[in-house]
Structure 1
Amino acid sequence: MQSKWALTAEDADRIGRAAEAEAAMHGWAVSIAVVDDGGHLLWFKRTEGAAPISARIAPAKAQTAALGRRESRVYEEIINQGRTAFLSAPLLEGMLEGGVPVLRDGQCLGAVGVSGVKSSEDAQVARAGIAALHELLAR
């Protein structure tokens, strides 16, 4: 039998709060979603002033990154390079930059999805959240 790492509620909270702090430091109004490796929501926050649609996009980006085990921007790039048939991939709705998987020892534990600012800034916020977890694990 194999065992695997899994995000706890405490891990999801640490990731989400660190991502929220990164967004606040820059004055960015965003929605932040943390999901497990199956794409199921563990933590969510829509900050003051974030557009209502961002509350739908952030979890979709996170789910896409978790299920695909890669950043959601990879799918955006595939589509932008002309492989538009990829738009019909099942369960992948957030194929935009801003979804980042949480990886440990080559395993995907889940993902963070952020929406509300430029897509590269969304990804920056997601990575800041993940970095907080990695800092804890490195101790």
Structure 2
Amino acid sequence: MYTKAVLSQTEVSRILAAARAEAQQNQWAVAIAVVDDGGHPLALERLDGCAPIGAYIATEKARSAAIGRRETKGYEDMVNGGRNAFLSAPLVTSLEGGVPVIVDGQVVGAVGVSGVKADQDAQVAKAGIAALG
């Protein structure tokens, strides 16, 4: 039998706080979603000024990173590299900004961010994850 860590509300709160701080420091209006390893929502925060669709996209980025066990940037690179058929893949968004949370080599969740440029979304997500140490 395998065992692995899971995200508690304490860790989720730390991720949100650090991601929010990174976004606010840069004056970026974003939505931040945190999901578990199955892509199920644990938390969502839409900062002032972020378009409502940002909440949906952030959640889909986080879900895709969790169930795909990789950053969504890889999917975006695949599509940009000419593999357009991947756009029809079910349940996966091919937009950068979804980053898995990895503990002891296991994906335990993911963070998705939407609202600014793709690399800035990823920067905010990674800042949130970095708060876990």
TM range (shorter): over 0.9
1:104 corresponds to 2:128: no
Q: Which residue of 2 aligns with 1:121?
A: 120
2:86 corresponds to which letter in structure 1? F
1:48 corresponds to 2:48: yes
TM-score, with length taken from structure 1: 0.93
Structure 1 runs (4+) greater than 4 angstroms displaced? none
Deviation at 1:111, TM superposition (A): 0.4
Q: Give per-residue Cα distances to partners, 1:90-112, cap 9 Å, x unaligned.
A: 211x2111001101111001100
Matches within 5 A, 1:56-71: 56-71=56-71
Partner SS for 2:111: strand
Q: Which runs of 5+ in 1 are unaligned?
A: 135-139
Q: RMSD across aligned C-alpha pairs, in angstroms?
A: 0.8
Partner SS for 2:102: strand
Partner SS for 1:62: helix
TM-score, with length taken from structure 2: 0.97
Deviation at 1:5, TM superposition (A): 1.1
Write the distance in 2 (CA, Å) between the matches of 1:3 and 1:105: 11
Q: How many residues align?
A: 133
Partner SS for 1:75: helix
What is the percentage of aligned positions where both structures have the same residue? 61
Q: Which residue of 2 aligns with 1:76?
A: 76
Write the distance in 2 (CA, Å) between the matches of 1:127 and 1:12: 13
Q: Which runs of 5+ in 2 are unaligned?
A: none
